[in-house]
Amino acid sequence: MSKKIVITGGPGTGKTSLISFLEEKGYQCQNEISRQVTLEAQKKGIDQLFLSDPILFSQQLLEGRLKQHQEVSHLKKNLLFYDRGLPDIPAYLNFTKVSYPDSFDTICQTYRYDTVFLLPPWKAIYTQDNERYETFEESKKIHDFLIHSYQKYGYKIIEVPFGTLKERMHFMITYLAL
């Protein structure tokens, strides 16, 4: 069975770049699906689904991430990296002060990860784009909500220091080898 490892952090902290780098180096990764959900909604004329219907958006994310969590039996590698995890969903909803069904908590408590790495806000690499509408200041606040969410579900959070993709990967792999 593969070890399930989450890489999380606020918007623009380098998660997706790090996941891509890990994939290039031969590691098995599950990619972030929020951009996919956002782009699908935009094709239907909804500019920002999270802003217009945060529960629908979050439900779609929850379903997608749950599917990613469950469909790992075919994997041959002993490490599986996820670009965000299930507890990110309540963190974002709490950040926006949106109530959500108890089932979200139940799923986050039931479907577990082995390790959680957190990338801190990093102004030097932060950029906004069509799918990332949050400011850097909001990214810092989301960071705090992510910490609270993962701790609520009983996770120990390992903060990844700033550095090149290679340095960040080395930090995580070294930690996992302990």
Alpha-carbon distance of 61 to 59, in angstroms, equals 5
Burial environment of residue 143 by CB neighbours within 10 A (0 to 12, 13 to 18, 19 or more): buried
pTM for the complete prediction?
0.89
As given in the structure block, the two tokens for residue 91 are: 């963190």
- Residue extents of the structural domains in the chain: 3-177
Sheet holding 79-83, edge to edge: 28-30, 79-83, 3-9, 115-119, 157-159
* CATH number assigned to the domain with residue range 3-177, chosen from the 4 options 3.30.930.10, 3.40.50.300, 3.30.565.10, 3.40.50.970: 3.40.50.300
46-103 pLDDT, tens digit each: 777 776 778 888 888 899 899 888 877 666 678 999 999 999 999 999 999 999 999 9
